[in-house]
Chain A
């Protein structure tokens, strides 16, 4: 009998095993309690174990009779640009203020596309910053300072 290995299936199953196992191990550091009065660790431990078991089943199935899925290319540039942009926003919005943070985050996100030119990216970032300021700060009265303490204003 020919085996149909499915790499995506194995990756997905392994992810479930690892995450489920991590949650289960983590729950052990909390009080488990009794079924009558469950501690904080009881429920996550149970679900974590169930999930790791499901993950194991997916791995086994992936090795024997996996689903036919092509994983495809990974757009590393887009992944990096978007993660950096989002984390930058979260980290600096309080420190740099709404306007500079939005501008830099929008600019970084725009770079995720391989076909964007520098001038276009700057223009898009400027336009989005203006739109975001009008919608969120002027329109919705969001209470975030426009310019933050890092700028010394």
Chain B
């Protein structure tokens, strides 16, 4: 059995004392930093990256992976408790997680996230070990036409995230895509919408958009009426989910794990797509649709599982193709190169101990995450149970510092204020920020693949309809669009008719 031999090699590497220790340190540090409001996994990994450079390659990469899981879990904790997701996949968790926290059910929400993440992580690690080579082949078959259709499908699916009208959600997606075009054009290098400001050439930072739309806008809404404002960080009691909760999260965790494992392989926004899709699926098939957005535990367990499964399987394109599937993976590429290893197909043959050690350490990292976080939730919560008069200045200040530290660019900080005001106005007008965020992340991919597909097909736009996978994805997207727009129309009609009577 090749697989068992490989896993034995992996675990013998990962169980070396220094590797377990630094995996632990990584998870602890990652959670502690990731739990800080406005600092997502990307920012956390970027900030902690230099620490790992002094270790051996295997240890350094294992520690980095640990930081990544920790940061992700810490980010989910913050998203649930104070509605401040550090990255777009946690934005999905915040939708229902924060509502649960408002209703005093923060404990079950956090536990559902932890349990879902652990189960998904375990399964996805096995998936990664078993299916890395064949799955990489699937991703290899995807041309730009398929990617374009896939990204379009992902965007259309995100309409399900919005509580309001489908029209507004579509417009928010378009707005996100437009903000994503700011900066240098990928093909010609021409600067777009930069107003002659050199600082804008690199584009608008995702963190600024997320912090502004979710953080600042939320704070402004809370300050609207300080007397009736509900407590932001409620007490976390009854951590263990009730029997009812446990029954309700089994399905979402299983489906989320499957979706996440499959979508995480796709280079691009696989993990974002996974959590958004999982949420959409749970909302569609649930018998309690009306609870979504108002504190449905399925809306926490599903996306969290999908997100974590995708986080594991997003290592597949990195380790087999050298393709970063995700900003954190791009940082991992940097870490590989610093250690003199070129990520790609050669890693599995040239550095089997590193390849399988990293995979084994992913599972160890997930075990440590549960061991560390369920008992320590009280500590993370205490970090958050701070009076609002202290908390919101802290969020603003730390968000400004964290955003600035990404690239020492003052424009990233100004962008927080801009997106905060814009987000606040749009939210007050009944537009939800999540579709905008997804448009912003996936927009550049959409444009890149659209243009590449048309270059390859020599300007023949039928390429999207003649390639079987692409056309299938497009058909699903159109069906989804029709289904999400139609009920609003027919309901409106009924209302109008009712008034006539």
A-side contacts of B175, CB under 8 Å: 16, 19-20, 51
Tell me, in angstroms, the Cα distance from A41 to B500 when the chains sit together. Answer: 47
A-side contacts of B412, CB under 8 Å: 90
Interchain CB contact under 8 A, B430 and A12: yes
Tell me, in angstroms, the Cα distance from A72 to B428 when the chains sit together. Answer: 8
B-side contacts of A115, CB under 8 Å: 226, 389
Tell me, in angstroms, the Cα distance from A57 to B48 when the chains sit together. Answer: 47
Interchain CB contact under 8 A, B397 and A82: no
Choose one: B216, B401, B429; the contact of A136 (CB below 8 Å).
B401
Q: Which of B360-403 contact A (CB under 8 A)?
A: 388-390, 392-394, 396-398, 400-402
**A5 to nearest B CB, angstroms?**
14
Choose one: B190, B389, B400; the contact of A110 (CB below 8 Å).
B389
B-side contacts of A12, CB under 8 Å: 168, 171, 426, 429-431
Stretch in contact with the other chain, from B288-296, B314-322, B336-344, B413-421: B413-421
Bits for A61-89, please: 1 = Cβ < 8 Å to B, else 0. 10001010101111100110011011101
B-side contacts of A106, CB under 8 Å: 393-394, 396-397
**B9 to nearest A CB, angstroms?**
35
Interchain CB contact under 8 A, A65 and B496: yes
Interchain CB contact under 8 A, A36 and B455: yes
Number of interface residues of A (CB under 8 A): 78
Choose one: A30, A38, A48; the contact of B178 (CB below 8 Å).
A48
Choose one: A27, A73, A128; the contact of B224 (CB below 8 Å).
A73
Interchain CB contact under 8 A, A110 and B413: no
Whether B459 is near chain A, meaning CB under 8 Å from some CB there, is: yes
**B64 to nearest A CB, angstroms?**
15
Q: Which of A134-152 contact B (CB under 8 A)?
A: 135-136, 140-142, 144
Stretch in contact with the other chain, from B78-86, B95-103, B132-140, B446-454: B446-454
B-side contacts of A55, CB under 8 Å: 171
Bits for B420-444, please: 1 = Cβ < 8 Å to A, else 0. 1100111011110000000000010
Interchain CB contact under 8 A, A86 and B396: yes
Residue of A nearest to B457 (CB): A36
B-side contacts of A102, CB under 8 Å: 397, 401
Tell me, in angstroms, the Cα distance from A147 to B458 when the chains sit together. Answer: 57
Interchain CB contact under 8 A, A75 and B430: no
Choose one: A78, A87, A141; the contact of B50 (CB below 8 Å).
A141
Tell me, in angstroms, the Cα distance from A39 to B454 when the chains sit together. Answer: 12
A-side contacts of B187, CB under 8 Å: 38, 40
Interchain CB contact under 8 A, B393 and A125: yes
Give the total number of A-B pairs whose CB atoms are below 8 A apart. Answer: 220
Choose one: B170, B181, B390, B447; the contact of A124 (CB below 8 Å).
B390
**B163 to nearest A CB, angstroms?**
10
Interchain CB contact under 8 A, B404 and A57: no
Interchain CB contact under 8 A, A124 and B393: yes
Interchain CB contact under 8 A, B410 and A20: no
Interchain CB contact under 8 A, A82 and B428: no
**B147 to nearest A CB, angstroms?**
15
**B291 to nearest A CB, angstroms?**
20
**B480 to nearest A CB, angstroms?**
17
Interchain CB contact under 8 A, B389 and A35: no
Interchain CB contact under 8 A, A58 and B171: yes
Choose one: A40, A65, A93; the contact of B188 (CB below 8 Å).
A40
Choose one: A37, A78, A93; the contact of B223 (CB below 8 Å).
A78
Interchain CB contact under 8 A, B396 and A85: yes
Tell me, in angstroms, the Cα distance from A80 to B125 when the chains sit together. Answer: 48
**B399 to nearest A CB, angstroms?**
8
Whether B286 is near chain A, meaning CB under 8 Å from some CB there, is: no
A-side contacts of B408, CB under 8 Å: 94, 144
Whether A118 is near chain B, meaning CB under 8 Å from some CB there, is: no
Interchain CB contact under 8 A, B224 and A75: yes
**A95 to nearest B CB, angstroms?**
10
Interchain CB contact under 8 A, A35 and B459: yes
Tell me, in angstroms, the Cα distance from A112 to B25 when the chains sit together. Answer: 38
Whether B237 is near chain A, meaning CB under 8 Å from some CB there, is: no
Choose one: B50, B394, B404, B405; the contact of A90 (CB below 8 Å).
B404
Tell me, in angstroms, the Cα distance from A114 to B193 when the chains sit together. Answer: 38
Interchain CB contact under 8 A, A36 and B454: yes
Whether B475 is near chain A, meaning CB under 8 Å from some CB there, is: no
A-side contacts of B428, CB under 8 Å: 8, 69, 71-72
With A30-B192, A128-B393, A136-B405 known, 6 other A-B pairs at CB within 8 A are A72-B428, A86-B416, A91-B410, A93-B413, A113-B389, A135-B398
Residue ranges of B at the interface with A (Cβ–Cβ < 8 Å) = 33, 36, 47-48, 50-51, 164-165, 167-168, 170-171, 174-175, 177-178, 181, 185, 187-188, 190, 192-193, 216, 219-220, 223-226, 388-390, 392-394, 396-398, 400-402, 404-405, 408, 410-414, 416-417, 420-421, 424-426, 428-431, 443, 447, 450-451, 454-455, 458-459, 461, 492, 495-496, 499-500
